């Protein structure tokens, strides 16, 4: 499960991580919630962290700060089969995505090539080179 990532990394059972991306901006990668946590664990355990995504996910005109992260319906957390399972008044945060800062990414694998050790400059140049 998602919860055993740190444990399996600490035991040397994972040699590399490859995740997808919903959007790549010049300073980070947006993907399903939990990706950032996996990237931090990978960095801590010196495990390469790669992003594999088509160039259609690149958005060169945006920075991470300018992207609004989708919030899912709180009922996904507070209800089961339309029955409330938490007390009324409990605040719920239910983001669908998170941001992985680009400095945690070892390479981005695309259908147009690989960007090794991506940073804002190399991502901007890559995006310009592919006409995005």
- Assess whether 22 carries a catalytic annotation: yes
Cβ-count burial of 1 within 10 angstroms (0-12 exposed, 13-18 middle, 19+ buried)?
exposed
Q: Please pick, among 2, 22, 73, 119, the residue that the annotation labels catalytic.
A: 22
User: How does DSSP assign 70-86, residue by residue?
Assistant: PBPPTHHHHEETTEE-S
**Alpha helices per DSSP H over the chain:** 5-10, 35-44, 75-78, 120-129
Catalytic residues, by residue number, are 22
């Amino acid at each position: 499960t998602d919860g055993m990532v740190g444990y399996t990394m600490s035991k040397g059972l994972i040699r590399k991580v490859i995740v997808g991306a919903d959007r790549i901006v010049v300073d980070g990668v947006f993907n399903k919630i939990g990706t950032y946590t996996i990237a931090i664990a990978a960095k801590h355990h010196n495990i390469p962290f790669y992003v594999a995504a088509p160039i259609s996910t690149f958005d060169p005109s945006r920075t991470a700060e300018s992207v609004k992260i989708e919030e899912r319906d709180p009922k996904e957390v507070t209800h089961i089969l339309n029955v409330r399972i938490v007390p009324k008044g409990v605040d719920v945060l239910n983001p669908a995505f998170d941001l992985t800062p680009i400095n945690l990414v070892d390479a981005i694998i695309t259908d147009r090539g690989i960007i090794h050790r991506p940073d804002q400059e190399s991502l901007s140049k890559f995006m310009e080179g592919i006409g995005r």
